[in-house]
């Protein structure tokens, strides 16, 4: 659908890809609505873009519902909020598992479901889920992150079929490692040889294109990582051996240590 003069909501706008997504949609969105857990994190960005702001903590079920109700008239929803959820599963207690699933999976599906109802009643709209190549390829040290991103990808592809008869599009974006901003960039990790990154601007541009062309799924990563994700779906065991030899475990351990405080 055209993004021109469409009311657009972006969640998780304060961190990671949020700023790049906001900059990509701001020129055509009318109005642009930015959401984050804390409004003070959005002050400068919202002022620069003339955007509205709504505070919502994805861990708080009442706030997720209130965000959906207060944003019932949005035409486009970019569901970007998430936790890193990295690390060996044995390092997590049950409360931390629940939090990762609550924020990364349940909140996204509930928000999409509630927003989709009003979109369907109008016969138009578009919802974008931000997943990851980790939603196609599971690696050591990513049990919870992969579980939630696999879930988001599956929900998106199925929801797309449910909502198509009502004139509502659904897309899922699967980035690889993103440079400059976001979960990977914040850890300062160095990738093994042969891996590569994409810029947050490229992910944002792919998201904009997915809405405009009503694309089901867009992978945003160098060819080597996209081929690796394809291998993982065909032969998970072969993919596990390949990533282990490439130093994947060392990378995941480093990222988990840097992100431990966000569990």
Q: Structural domain boundaries of the chain?
A: 6-262
Q: Scan for tokens 């696999």, then name that residue.
A: 150
Distance in angstroms (rounded) separating the CA atoms of residues 118 and 113? 9
pLDDT band at 79; cut points 50, 70, 90 = very high
Please state whether beta strands 6-10 and 125-130 pair in parallel, antiparallel, or not at all (unpaired): unpaired
Predicted confidence (pLDDT) at residue 55 exceeds the cutoff of 90: yes
Where would I find the H helices in 168-245? 183-187, 200-213, 223-234, 236-245
Q: What is the pTM of this model?
A: 0.93
Distance in angstroms (rounded) separating the CA atoms of residues 118 and 74? 9
Distance in angstroms (rounded) separating the CA atoms of residues 219 and 147? 18
Taking Cα atoms as reference points, which of 206, 141, 140, 213 lies closest to residue 176? 206
Percent of the chain with pLDDT over 90: 76
Predicted confidence (pLDDT) at residue 33 exceeds the cutoff of 80: yes
145 catalytic? Reply is yes
CATH topology of domain 6-262: Rossmann fold (3.40.50)
Predicted confidence (pLDDT) at residue 181 exceeds the cutoff of 80: no
Query: Taking a C-beta distance cutoff of 8 angstroms, is the pair 253, 245 a contact?
Result: no
Distance in angstroms (rounded) separating the CA atoms of residues 34 and 52? 6
pLDDT band at 253; cut points 50, 70, 90 = confident
The least confident of 149-158, 204-213, 224-233, 241-250 is: 241-250
Distance in angstroms (rounded) separating the CA atoms of residues 199 and 100? 25
Average confidence (pLDDT) over 117-137: 97
Percent of the chain with pLDDT over 70: 97
From the candidates 25, 145, 177, 195, which is the catalytic residue?
Answer: 145
Predicted confidence (pLDDT) at residue 254 exceeds the cutoff of 90: no
């Amino acid at each position: 659908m055209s993004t021109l003069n469409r009311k657009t909501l972006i969640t998780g706008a304060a961190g990671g890809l949020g700023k790049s997504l906001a900059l990509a949609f701001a020129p055509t969105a009318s109005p642009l609505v930015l959401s984050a857990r804390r409004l003070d994190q959005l002050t400068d960005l919202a002022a620069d873009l003339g955007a509205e702001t709504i505070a919502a903590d994805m861990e708080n079920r009442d706030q997720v519902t209130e965000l959906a109700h207060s944003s019932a008239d949005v035409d486009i929803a970019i569901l970007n909020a998430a936790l890193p959820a990295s690390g060996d599963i044995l390092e997590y207690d049950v409360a931390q598992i629940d939090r990762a699933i609550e924020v990364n999976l349940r909140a996204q599906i509930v928000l999409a479901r509630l927003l989709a109802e009003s979109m369907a009643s109008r016969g138009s709209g578009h919802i974008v889920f931000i997943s990851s190549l980790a939603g196609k390829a599971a690696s050591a040290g990513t049990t919870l992150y992969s579980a939630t991103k696999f879930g988001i990808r599956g929900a998106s592809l199925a929801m797309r079929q449910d909502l198509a008869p009502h004139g509502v599009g659904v897309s899922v974006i699967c980035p690889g490692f993103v440079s400059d901003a976001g979960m990977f960039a914040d850890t300062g990790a160095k990738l093994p040889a042969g891996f590569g990154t994409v810029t947050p601007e490229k992910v944002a541009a792919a998201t904009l294109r997915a809405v405009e062309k009503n694309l089901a799924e867009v992978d945003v990563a160098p060819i080597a990582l996209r081929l690796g994700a394809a291998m993982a779906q065909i032969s998970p065991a072969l993919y596990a051996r390949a990533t282990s030899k490439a130093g994947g475990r060392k990378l995941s351990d480093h990222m988990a240590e840097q992100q431990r405080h966000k569990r």
